[in-house]
Amino acid sequence: MASIRYEQPFWCRGVLVAGVDEAGRGSLAGPVVAAAVVLHPDSSSLCRRVRDSKELNLRMREELYEEITSSAVAWSVGVASVKLIEQRNILGATMHAMQHAVEQLGCSIAHVFVDGPHHPLLVQPTTAIVGGDRRSASIAAASIIAKVTRDRLMVELARQYPHHGFDRHKGYPTAEHFAALDRWGPTPEHRALFLTKWRARSGQAQLL
């Protein structure tokens, strides 16, 4: 369960920190969304309840999203479009979205904790924490904001492309997603690298 062990030393000195995480990096379609969250040092109740967004159901994510956005010192999101993913590759686009999220916070922070083995180039000192969304309350909070924000974007895409089920699988590689692609083909929101893999997969299927 996420804790405040990373945040506490900074809060004791009277300074703020941010947690950063992304959603959608492993998706086959749609944008990557990064979130940065600066929790209030006095939000102990919230800190005890936040956790990796993947461990929460839809209702819990939505409830915590509302609480985080209303009580955090600051929060922001950065979005990397499919076009940017194709230009910079998925890692480069993810780092861009994270950097943008931190830069939009609008408050002074002493340190940034980022989920995963990589972190964007920032003005602030930064620590990358593998499994950070399960270890740091700030990163866990960011994972919830990123997940809910991206899910909402995918629901909007589902209205544009109603045959592909984006509101259900959110662009991830599910049987339903592949079936929709086999029947309807890709949309402009599908990522170039994935399209290559999908076309190879479709070609193999036709040979069976």
> Is a pLDDT exceeding 70 seen at residue 203?
no
205 pLDDT band, cuts 50/70/90, is very low
How many angstroms separate the CA atoms of 144 and 169, rounded?
Answer: 17
Per-residue pLDDT at 20: 98
Per-residue pLDDT at 208: 31
Per-residue pLDDT at 207: 33
CATH match of 8-159 with 3.30.420.10: yes
Number of neighbours of residue 50 by Cβ within 10 angstroms: 27
Per-residue pLDDT at 32: 98
How many Å separate Cα 108 from the centre of its chain?
23
Per-residue pLDDT at 202: 64
- Which residue ranges make up each domain of the chain? 8-159
Residue of 193 and 152 predicted with greater confidence: 152
pTM: 0.93
> Is a pLDDT exceeding 60 seen at residue 204?
no
Per-residue pLDDT at 199: 72
Q: Which two tokens stand for residue 203?
A: 């070609």
Q: Which range is least confidently modeled, 7-16, 117-126, 197-206?
A: 197-206
